[in-house]
Amino acid sequence: MSKSYKQILLILVITLLFNACSIKEPIVLQVKNSDIEVLATTANDNSFNSEIVSKDFFDKYFKPWNSTKVSYSKIEAMWGQSYKNKKVYLENHQLATASWFDKQIENSNFDDYNILAKKAITLKNVNIRVIPTNSPMFYDPTQPGEGFPFDYNQNSSLKINTPLIVSHLSKDRAWAYVESSTVGGWVEIGTIAYVDNNFIQEFKTSNYFVSVKEKFPIYDPIFREYIKVATIFPKKNNKYIIAKRDDNQNAYISFIDLNSDEVESMPLAFNSENRIKIAKQLIDEPYGWGGLLNNRDCSSFTQDYFATFGKFLHRNSKAQLSNGKYLDMSKLTNNEKKEFIKNNGVPFSTLVYLKGHIMLYIGVKENEPLVLHNMWSVRLKDSDGRKYRHIIGKAMVTTLEPGKGIKDFDEDTNILNRIQGIVIL
């Protein structure tokens, strides 16, 4: 090897090493899940009284059984049919045709809206679909932030033991349009059973327990379901109630055993021990758009967290703005937003809102506000302006600028830059 060739090779190696080092930008703050314990211990136990707020929670929880029909207007209930006017891709990544939508719309059978008007209960964790089909509806799957898991036919999910009011059935009788205390939409008919006044009277024991452990199995006597945090079980004579279905799809009371580390009397006291306990169960849980795959998105994360303490939250991020005192921050600079949250936010009792996302403020570390939230990704942009995503896909503790310090961090789409306000619960 010639001397000149060795010199060129040496220069190339040094250049590569220099470039490799130069793209490693410093992380602003190391955030750990253990920060939850420190901050939860110093949070205010008197932010709200669990016993008082839980009365409102149960009034709303059982509202479907105190109703005579689904509360939405027919036009409101049919909102999902507007997807026919958009470019929607199905499970094969092919565009949904007009005839495909026409078939779904006809099967929706809205001529019978609120004709059935029967009370019911979920027999398992169920998906709430926008139109009566399990087919997913994606926007362009080739674009960042679209495709899986963003199935726009997934409106939400409900847990086992959830009271419902049924409007009507689809034409093929495979689906029921239902309303719970928080959401409406289509569920598979085999996931519910109809209840009568005798069932309701026996189910409403006024002695309710809530699951404090994530995704543990229950048996009746064979496997029934994986139970999520914030699932509610009435208790009677040291047994816990779930519903079974007879051959006519009517519900009857069934009893199961649960362990002491799986459920506790509801509501939990809003103290440091319980704040930590629930957070530890939810942290690192996978992201699930609309509850897809029995997981949580950002607003079902906050909803379930507070449900254990008897605090009712609406189902989506924008609706949760009405669950407390909203303070607008949209006109503030990023530094002003941080100071505003530190000065006005109540750790573990404040939601931080931006369009399409919501987070739980938990306190300050090294002068940086921290949030606990279930997030899908960090938005990035390379030097050519190409946008892409760094996938997080789980619940975690972050600053208001998750991803800051990594290569291609995009200040324009930074979460802090998009924060609109906070909600004091």
| Pairing, β 368-381 against β 357-365 | antiparallel
Q: What is the pTM of this model?
A: 0.92
**3-class SS of residue 66:** helix
- Chain centroid offset of residue 5 CA: 60
Q: Which pLDDT score is estimated for 196?
A: 98
What is the rounded CA–CA span in Å between residue 92 and residue 95? Answer: 9
At the topology level, CATH places domain 35-48+270-424 in endopeptidase fold (from Nostoc punctiforme) (3.90.1720)
pLDDT means over runs of 10, the chain (425 residues): 47 40 48 90 92 97 98 98 97 96 98 98 98 98 93 98 98 98 98 98 98 98 97 97 97 97 98 97 97 97 98 97 98 98 97 98 96 96 92 96 91 94 98
Are 416 and 337 in contact by the 8 Å Cβ rule? The answer is yes
Q: Which pLDDT score is estimated for 406?
A: 87
Largest CA distance in the chain: 95
DSSP structural state of residue 221: S
Closest by CA position to 424, among listed 320, 349, 328, 317: 349
Are 320 and 401 in contact by the 8 Å Cβ rule? The answer is no
Domain extents for the chain? 35-48+270-424, 51-265
